[in-house]
């Protein structure tokens, strides 16, 4: 175990030698009583990069000066704007540029992907998800099952936890597929489980599911920008994500989708839209839909420029920082936070996120010993004192040190605030 110390001097020394320390200055930190708050909520809404305002204003200026000609003129013509984020987005998720597209929002993209990749038959009609899945996934898969004329009571298979604190082992996934695989049309799991912070092994799950003849998709809402993903090498059929969490692209930001290159030119059913048409003939306005090869072929509409500008700015920061360097810092921050909780607050808090570093990202999910009411009281105390995490029912406080802007000193500040609360509780 690293030589951690629960002192301000030690934390400041780590922050002073952090090779990524300068990136914090590129973000707006919410104030609290004349000082920066301690912001641990990047897993829910990432902070605003300072350069976003200029980027959005630039597009507003082009709109004012060029009007419709802004589609073809200016530094970044709007016609191709989604392509300006493609390479950096592909690098963040470990994909080929042709396999990714920034479009819509997560829920919309999930439905669009299931149109193509959930094709139930009488024999193979089920969808496998984790128990306690985020409502977006749960509602979407259930509605798709009903839309195709099947009953979720028999066609929705939910993986039950087989480990303490609600996590799921690979053995449980193997057992579920051994039992139900011949009926499963789609395995749909998260990259990171939103409540407990468990990381799922995308490549291992994909290989196992494909062995049973299943299509495979992943919800990467809590994984993109958090972990160095390798989507292409995972072999997954598709993935979807949002961009307002670790990707720091603003509330309701444009989401993204991945479609593996083996489907690039496949004659898959899909809900077609004009912007998904082959761009070389799009403006001929022909009646026959000819999809662009790759993920672009799933687009419905032209890109929302004012919403894509923040994503472009954020992805440039990720390019300069590098996902591997961010992961290395994240491991150190999360490891320090866990050590502080275990050594300083063992009688107050319990970490429910897996202890193995490879099975977690930036998020630690924490329960307060003594039950939900004490947990809620602590959460509200922290918020009142400028320590911003988030609460997930029934009893979890999520604390997520994001390596782009969080510090070792932030982790220590959290622990000191909990200690102060415990003395007055």
Lookup: tokens for 39: 């912001």
Report strand pairing: 215-219 vs 238-241.
parallel
Mean pLDDT, residues 225-240: 98
Extract the tokens encoding 312. Answer: 């472009």
Q: Which pLDDT score is estimated for 302?
A: 94
Q: Is the pLDDT of residue 420 over 70?
A: yes
What are the CA-CA distances from residue 129 to residues 50, 234, 415 (Å)? 38, 18, 35
The DSSP line for 95-131 is --GGGEEE-S-HHHHHHHHHHHH----SSS-EEEEET
What are the extents of the domains in the chain? Answer: 8-36+323-424, 56-319
Class of CATH domain 8-36+323-424:
alpha beta
Confidence bin at 2 (pLDDT 50/70/90): confident
Mean pLDDT of 255-269: 95
Statement: residue 111 has pLDDT above 80: yes
Could you give the percent of the chain with pLDDT greater than 70? 100
Instruction: Yes or no: say if 415 and 422 are a contact pair by the CB < 8 Å rule.
Output: no
Quick one: average pLDDT of 109-122? 98
Give the pLDDT band (50/70/90) at residue 424: confident
- pLDDT tens column, 288-325: 999 999 999 999 999 999 999 999 999 999 999 999 99
Both tokens assigned to 421 = 């609360």
pLDDT given for residue 248 in this prediction: 98
Q: Are 137 and 111 in contact (CB under 8 A)?
A: no
How far is Cα of residue 419 from the mean position of the Cα atoms in its chain?
A: 31
> Could you tell me which of 4, 188, 168, 207 has the C-alpha nearest to residue 106?
188
SS3 letters across 390-418: EEECCCEEEEECCCCCCCHHHHHHHHHHH
What pLDDT score was predicted for residue 74?
87
pLDDT, the chain, mean: 96
The answer to whether the CB of 175 falls within 8 A of the CB of 185 is no
**Which pLDDT belongs to residue 392?**
94
Please compute Rg for the chain using Cα positions.
Answer: 22
Rounded distance between C-alpha atoms, residue 20 and residue 27, angstroms: 13
| pLDDT tens digits along 124-170 | 999 999 999 999 999 999 999 999 999 999 999 999 999 989 999 99
Q: What is the C-alpha separation between 244 and 250, in angstroms, rounded?
A: 5
Mean pLDDT confidence for 229-257:
98
Burial of 120 (0-12, 13-18, 19+ CB in 10 A): buried
Question: For 322-389, where are the E strands, in sequence order?
Answer: 349-351, 364-368, 387-388
* 56-319 CATH: 3.40.640.10
pLDDT at residue 1 tops 70: no
Beta strand segments in 220-374, E: 238-241, 256-259, 349-351, 364-368
Q: Which two tokens stand for residue 403?
A: 């390596």
Interatomic CA distance for residues 16 and 404, integer angstroms: 14
Q: Token digits for 24?
A: 């914090």
d(CA 334, CA 193): 16
Percent over 90 (pLDDT), the chain? 97
Q: Is pLDDT of 425 > 80? A: no
Measured CA to CA, the distance from residue 100 to residue 229 in angstroms comes to 13
Does residue 284 surpass a pLDDT of 70? yes
- Give residue-wise pLDDT tens across range 11-23: 999 999 999 999 9
Q: How far apart are CA 271 and CA 290, in angstroms?
A: 12
């Amino acid at each position: 175990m690293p030589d951690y110390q629960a002192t301000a001097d030690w934390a400041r020394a780590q922050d002073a030698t952090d090779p990524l320390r300068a990136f914090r200055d590129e973000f707006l930190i919410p104030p609290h009583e004349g000082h920066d708050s301690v912001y641990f909520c990047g897993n829910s809404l990432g902070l605003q990069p300072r350069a976003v305002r200029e980027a959005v204003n630039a597009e507003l200026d082009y709109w004012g000066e060029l009007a419709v000609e802004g589609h073809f003129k200016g530094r970044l013509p709007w016609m191709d704007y989604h392509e300006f984020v493609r390479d950096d987005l592909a690098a963040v998720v470990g994909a080929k540029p042709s396999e990714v597209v920034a479009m819509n929002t997560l829920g919309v993209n999930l439905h669009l992907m299931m149109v193509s990749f959930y094709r139930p038959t009488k024999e193979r009609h089920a969808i496998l998800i984790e128990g306690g899945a985020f409502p977006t996934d749960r509602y979407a898969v259930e509605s798709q099952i009903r839309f195709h004329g099947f009953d979720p009571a028999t066609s929705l298979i939910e993986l039950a936890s087989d480990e303490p604190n609600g996590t799921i082992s690979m053995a449980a996934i193997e057992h579920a597929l051994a039992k139900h695989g011949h009926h499963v049309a789609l395995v749909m799991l998260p990259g990171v489980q939103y409540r407990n912070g468990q990381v799922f092994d995308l490549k291992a799950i994909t290989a196992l599911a494909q062995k049973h003849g299943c299509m495979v998709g992943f919800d990467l809402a809590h994984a993109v920008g958090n972990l160095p993903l390798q989507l292409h090498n995972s072999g997954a059929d598709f993935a979807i994500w949002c961009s307002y969490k670790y990707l720091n692209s603003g509330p309701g930001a444009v989401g993204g989708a991945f479609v593996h290159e083996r489907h690039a030119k496949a004659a898959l059913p899909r809900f077609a839209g004009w912007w998904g048409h082959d761009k070389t003939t799009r403006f001929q306005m022909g009646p026959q839909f000819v999809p662009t090869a790759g993920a672009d072929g799933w687009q419905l509409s032209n890109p929302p420029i004012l919403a894509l500008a923040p994503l472009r700015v954020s992805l440039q920061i990720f390019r300069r920082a590098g996902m591997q360097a961010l992961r290395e810092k994240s491991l150190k921050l999360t490891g320090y936070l866990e050590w502080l909780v275990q050594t300083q607050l063992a009688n107050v808090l319990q970490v429910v996120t897996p202890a193995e570093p490879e099975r977690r990202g930036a998020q630690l999910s924490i329960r307060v010993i003594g039950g939900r009411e004490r947990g809620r009281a602590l959460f509200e105390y922290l918020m009142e004192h400028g320590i911003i995490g988030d609460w997930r029912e029934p009893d979890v406080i999520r604390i997520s040190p994001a390596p782009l802007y969080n510090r070792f000193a932030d982790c220590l500040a959290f622990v000191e605030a909990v200690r102060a609360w415990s003395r007055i509780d």
